[in-house]
């Protein structure tokens, strides 16, 4: 990826120079103040993801975690993967195919993030072909806060809101009222410039953000691929993204674009067909409040997403032995898909104690043919590698209703239902219900039950890549049921504790099975295919504690424990860490100097390979630190160190389960960052 950050870097230097010459005309800007929430505000922050209205976390009818813009900056998170890895119940896993997976509560995803839903404000972001979302799509500097539901969310949000919902809420132009530029550089020749700006102009307002990450990549060293060969590649994840938000009177529209270029081992876990995966995406949405009253409000939303994909395979068929014999050639896969949706949502307050949320929605999905070409030509591959040669479409029509009621001052209740009519899978109902007991302002108990579903995507149904992967047109939607029991306790004015226990059961879980097939090399090889499994039972405990015991020292910590049993086998769930822990603190040494430290522990993971060999990946600890210095009100300098113990850690290769493990991430990395508010 080219490096267009020179202009942003020059602009940063110029603004810092102006600040040093004329410091008296500067003050901490509104956008910087937004990042500086008091501890009381952080502990009592309101969320909207659970009921589409502001509610305290303790009163929201869901198990919710929140990460604010202030925490993102102070803890030195550089991307959304790092941010989400700090949430209890979420586990991050790398795959050989150049994917970073967000696994929630033990629900393992394949190469595609489609068992949880990503929302940008009210816009569901996912690719129509795979159901996959791209966290590289959103500039993190425009994020106001992130609200994460752990557990089903299909009643309000439909398919993909299966094991969780990640709602990203962006800063308004009024909240920003100015801008920010930053520049980071460090290990692996990494550069990362950003620019963010927001302003009100009478009836019109504008917010915009753009960021770039470019590096040579960290060394991805593997002792053994599926052919028993060792090797290494520079694992890059370079991306350019941008977002612009426009508001005219009551009308709001948002537009996003991104380009991502990632390395991968190959179409299967071998070094024979390494190459780049390039994604280019565009998203747009519009929202208009038709009625805005105290009792009744009615909003109309529309959204559109388009993703283009291009992948290079240095050799196909993806076997080194065939490459050495000269059988095969370089190939390139091209595809694209789009999603269009519209929703009408209403909120009605029946007095002060009963609230209704309801709506209807329509969503249309399209995928173009997914074709492998001889590299540099328009000639279709002769090796049967193309996924499918025809376009496909589908649509959902849905209606939902959720009611919340304050039965007494201490007891609240929720009940909801969603009806979905899908072009392929017909009609489906999913419910949710719960009770919230508030003994006082400090203690709340939640008992919640919810169900969710996820329809198979085009790729899972129609993929037909010879000797690699097959789909199944008869796949059924997968279904999940979850019971949550949670406690929210403000045990002192500056310290809060949240603990919840969950019990989950899945049915018709969409996964991959491994079969043997005669390969292009004349030998039996492992081939993957999509199937409906019988499902699993999961249960676990999640706990979060946040606050301050000492002046100028704030902390937060969380732990997760999850285990389970397969429905069809009498053994535990494989490839997930039963125990994980995150701890972080922010120490304000003085007005201008602060130190933040993060410790993450991920427990060991066990599994069984396709040859029935048992294996176990070791648990590991990662320590990240960030030192921040503010030489003036508008400038922040940061020194970041990640994986300071230089831990070499590994993730299980659970998707094909032919090799035991792959590298999880880079060793020790150091970055320097300059932030300037104007």
pLDDT at 5 over 70: no
Model confidence band, residue 569 (pLDDT cutoffs 50, 70, 90)? low
Q: Once rounded to an integer, what is the mean pLDDT over residues 26-41?
A: 54
Average of pLDDT values for 188-212?
Answer: 95
For the segment 23-47, the average pLDDT, to the nearest whole number, is 57
Q: Mean per-residue pLDDT for 641-663? A: 95
Instruction: Give the list of residues 6+ apart from residue 27 with CB closer than 8 angstroms, or none.
Output: 633, 634
Q: Residue 15 is encoded by which pair of tokens?
A: 């603004």
Q: Which of 54-63, 349-358, 416-425 has the lowest mean pLDDT?
A: 54-63
Cis ω on the peptide bond leading into residue 317 (within 30° of 0)?
Answer: yes
Judged against a pLDDT cut of 50, whether residue 183 lies above it is answered with yes
Residues 6+ apart with CB under 8 A from 542: 63, 88, 89, 150, 499, 500, 502, 558, 559, 560, 561
Output phi, psi for 136, to 5 deg.
-70, -5
Cα-Cα-Cα-Cα dihedral sign, residues 307, 311, 317, 320: negative
**Rounded Cα gap, residues 334 and 209, in angstroms:** 29
Q: How many CB atoms lie within 10 A of CB 46?
A: 15
Which sign, positive or negative, has the C-alpha torsion 501, 505, 511, 516?
positive
Q: What is the DSSP letter of 668?
A: -
Q: Which residue has the higher pLDDT, 301 or 569?
A: 301
- Looking at residue 50, what is its pLDDT? 81
Q: What is the pLDDT of residue 180?
A: 94
What percentage of the chain exceeds 70 in pLDDT? 92
pLDDT (0 to 100) of residue 378: 93
3-state secondary structure of 368: coil
**pLDDT > 90: what percent of the chain?**
78
Domains of the chain: 6-336+357-677 (2.40.170.20)
Residue 222 has pLDDT above 80, yes or no: yes
Residue corresponding to tokens 């932030």: 675
Could you tell me which residues come within 8 angstroms of residue 344 by beta carbon, excluding any fewer than 6 positions away? 298, 299, 300, 301, 359, 360, 361
Tell how far CA 117 is from the center of its chain: 8
Which region among 16-20, 34-38, 463-467 has the lowest average model confidence (pLDDT)? 16-20
Cβ atoms of 644 and 653 within 8 Å: the answer is: no
pLDDT category of residue 42 using cuts at 50, 70 and 90: low
Q: How does pLDDT run across 296-330, given as a tens digit for each residue?
A: 999 999 999 999 999 999 999 999 989 999 999 99
Q: Which residues contact 275 (CB under 8 A, 6 or more apart)?
A: 263, 264, 266, 311, 312, 313, 314
Cα separation, 421 vs 292, in Å, equals 30
What three-state secondary structure class fits 188? helix
pLDDT given for residue 4 in this prediction: 46
246-275: average pLDDT: 94
State pLDDT tens for residues 330-350. Answer: 999 999 999 999 999 999 999
**Cα distances (Å, whole numbers) of residue 540 to 49, 113, 337, 446:** 23, 22, 37, 16
Which of the pair, 18 or 309, is modelled with greater confidence? 309
Q: Is the pLDDT of residue 12 over 50?
A: no
DSSP state of 172: P
Measured CA to CA in angstroms, residue 384 lies from 119, 276, 494, 552 at distances of 36, 21, 62, 63
pLDDT at 417: 97
Q: What local confidence, expressed as pLDDT, does residue 35 receive? A: 60
Q: Is the pLDDT of residue 467 over 50?
A: yes
Whether pLDDT at 11 is above 60: no
Q: Output the DSSP codes for 561-591.
A: EEEEEESSSSSBPPSS-SEEEEEEEEEEEET
Q: What is the pLDDT of residue 17?
A: 45
96-153: per-residue pLDDT in tens? 999 999 999 999 998 999 999 999 999 999 999 999 999 999 999 999 999 999 999 9
Residue 569: CB atoms within 10 Å: 10
Per-residue pLDDT tens digits for 571-607: 678 899 999 999 999 999 998 999 999 999 999 999 9
pLDDT value at 177 more than 90: no
> Which pLDDT does position 75 carry in this prediction?
86
Q: What is the mean pLDDT of residues 530-538?
A: 91
- Whether residue 520 contacts residue 322, with contact meaning beta carbons closer than 8 Å, is answered with yes
**H helix runs in 493-644, sequence order:** none
Among the listed residues 68, 90, 69, the one whose alpha carbon sits nearest the alpha carbon of residue 81: 90
* Per-residue pLDDT, 18: 39
Report the chain's mean pLDDT, rounded to a whole number. Answer: 90
Which of 23-27, 53-57, 511-515 is predicted most confidently? 511-515
């Amino acid at each position: 990826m080219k490096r267009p950050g020179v202009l942003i870097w020059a602009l940063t230097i110029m603004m810092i120079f102006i600040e040093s010459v004329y410091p008296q005309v500067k003050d901490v800007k509104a956008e910087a103040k937004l990042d500086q929430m008091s501890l009381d505000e952080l502990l009592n922050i309101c969320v909207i993801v659970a009921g589409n209205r502001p509610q305290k976390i303790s009163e929201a009818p869901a198990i919710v975690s929140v990460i604010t813009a202030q925490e993102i900056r102070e803890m030195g998170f550089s991307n959304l993967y790092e941010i989400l890895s700090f949430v209890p119940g979420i586990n991050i896993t790398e795959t050989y195919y150049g994917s970073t997976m967000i696994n929630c509560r033990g629900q393992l995803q394949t190469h595609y993030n489609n068992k949880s839903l990503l929302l940008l404000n009210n816009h569901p972001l996912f690719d129509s072909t795979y159901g996959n979302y791209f966290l590289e799509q959103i500039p993190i500097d425009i994020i106001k806060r992130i609200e994460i539901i752990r557990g089903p969310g299909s009643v309000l949000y439909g398919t993909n809101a299966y094991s969780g919902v990640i709602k990203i809420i962006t800063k308004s132009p009024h909240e920003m009222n100015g801008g920010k530029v930053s520049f980071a550089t460090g290990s692996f020749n990494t550069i990362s410039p950003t620019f963010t700006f927001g302003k009100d102009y009478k009836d019109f307002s504008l917010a915009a953000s753009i960021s770039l990450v470019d590096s040579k990549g960290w060394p991805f060293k593997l002792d053994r691929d599926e052919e028993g060969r060792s090797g290494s590649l520079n694992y890059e994840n370079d991306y350019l993204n941008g977002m612009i938000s426009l508001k005219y009177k009551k009308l709001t529209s948002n537009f996003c674009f991104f380009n991502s270029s990632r390395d991968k081992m190959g179409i299967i876990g071998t070094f024979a067909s390494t190459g780049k995966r390039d994604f280019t995406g565009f998203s747009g949405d519009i929202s208009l409040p038709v009625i805005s009253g105290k009792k009744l409000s009615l909003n109309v939303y529309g959204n559109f997403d388009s993703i283009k994909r291009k992948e290079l395979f240095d050799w196909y068929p993806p076997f080194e032995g065939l490459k050495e014999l000269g059988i095969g050639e370089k190939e390139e896969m091209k595809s694209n898909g789009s999603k269009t949706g519209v929703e009408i949502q209403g909120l009605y307050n029946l007095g002060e104690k009963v609230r209704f949320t309801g709506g209807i929605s329509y969503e249309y999905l399209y995928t173009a043919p997914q074709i492998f070409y001889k590299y540099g030509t328009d000639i279709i591959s002769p090796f049967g590698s193309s996924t499918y040669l025809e376009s496909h479409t589908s649509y959902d029509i849905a209606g939902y209703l959720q009611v919340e009621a304050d039965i007494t001052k201490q007891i609240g209740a929720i009940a909801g239902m969603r009806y979905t009519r899908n072009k392929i899978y017909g009609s489906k109902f999913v419910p949710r219900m719960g009770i919230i007991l508030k003994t006082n302002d400090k203690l709340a108990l939640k008992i919640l039950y919810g169900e969710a579903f996820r329809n198979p995507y085009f790729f899972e149904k129609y993929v037909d890549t010879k000797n690699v992967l097959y789909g199944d047109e008869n796949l059924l939607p997968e279904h999940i049921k979850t019971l949550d029991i949670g406690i929210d306790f403000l045990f002192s004015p500056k310290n809060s504790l949240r603990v919840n226990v969950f019990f989950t059961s899945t049915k018709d879980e969409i996964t991959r099975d491994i079969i043997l097939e005669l390969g292009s090399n004349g030998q039996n090889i492992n081939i993957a295919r999509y199937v409906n499994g019988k499902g699993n039972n999961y249960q676990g405990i999640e706990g979060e504690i946040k606050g301050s015991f000492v002046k100028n020292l704030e902390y937060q910590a969380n732990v997760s424990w999850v285990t389970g049993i397969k429905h069809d086998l009498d053994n535990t769930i494989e490839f997930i860490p039963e125990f994980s822990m995150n701890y972080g603190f922010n120490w304000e040494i003085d007005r201008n100097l602060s130190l933040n430290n993060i410790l993450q522990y991920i427990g060991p993971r066990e599994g069984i390979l396709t040859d029935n060999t048992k294996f176990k990946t070791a648990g590991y600890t990662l320590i990240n630190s960030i030192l921040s210095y503010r030489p003036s009100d508008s400038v922040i300098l940061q020194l970041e160190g990640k994986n300071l113990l230089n831990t070499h850690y590994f993730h299980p290769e659970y998707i094909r389960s032919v090799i035991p493990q792959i590298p999880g991430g880079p060793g020790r990395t150091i970055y320097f960052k300059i932030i300037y508010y104007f």
